[in-house]
Amino acid sequence: MRQFLLMTFTSINYLFFSPSIVILHWIFPPRYRWIVLLTGSYFFYINLKPTYALLVAGVTISTYIFARLIYNTNIESRRKVFMLTNVVLILLPLFFFKYFSGINNGILKLLETCNLRWPFPEIEILLPIGISFYTFMAIGYTIDIYNH
């Protein structure tokens, strides 16, 4: 069953999925088209690796909440704290997936040369597809709301 659901950009499933989303996008009233795109995006991401959809959801929820806080606050110092907090929260998963295994493996190799043991094994983490894109889009949106 999982083989049937697997959807990548080069799969037959994507060949049917993509036009379906485009058609639904144009069928829905303009006010609700964002829901079609959001749902389609999450569905696609869940089919690639379900646990990584939690990352996208976390970035989405964090960006939404902090954008609302920034927009509804008139105190400049609070607005800045909200903006910086959200940027840091959004960057944490990106830094983890891009740099954790390299730093961990580097420390492991350095300690091995000194005959010391590191409690974590050598780790290779697969970078989630599009993590840099949606991270920087969320940061850009947060900064746009802050500058509004």
Q: Are 55 and 1 members of one domain?
A: no
44: containing domain:
1-48
**Residue 63 near residue 88 (C-beta atoms within 8 A):** no
Number of domains observed in the structure of the chain: 2
Write down the residue that tokens 């795109």 correspond to: 37
Q: Are 33 and 9 members of one domain?
A: yes
Q: Are 112 and 44 members of one domain?
A: no
Q: Are 19 and 70 members of one domain?
A: no
Q: Are 128 and 74 members of one domain?
A: yes
> Which of 14, 30, 48 is the last residue before a domain boundary?
48
> Given a cut of 60, is residue 33 above it in pLDDT?
yes
Q: Are 73 and 123 members of one domain?
A: yes
Q: Are 44 and 54 members of one domain?
A: no
Q: Which residues contact 67 (CB under 8 A, 6 or more apart)?
A: 86, 141, 142, 145
Q: Are 67 and 23 members of one domain?
A: no
Q: Are 28 and 67 members of one domain?
A: no
pTM of the model: 0.77
What's the average model confidence in pLDDT over 79-91? 97
> Given a cut of 70, is residue 56 above it in pLDDT?
yes
Q: Are 40 and 112 members of one domain?
A: no
User: Tens digits of per-residue pLDDT, 103-116?
Assistant: 877 888 888 888 87
Structure confidence at residue 5 (pLDDT): 57
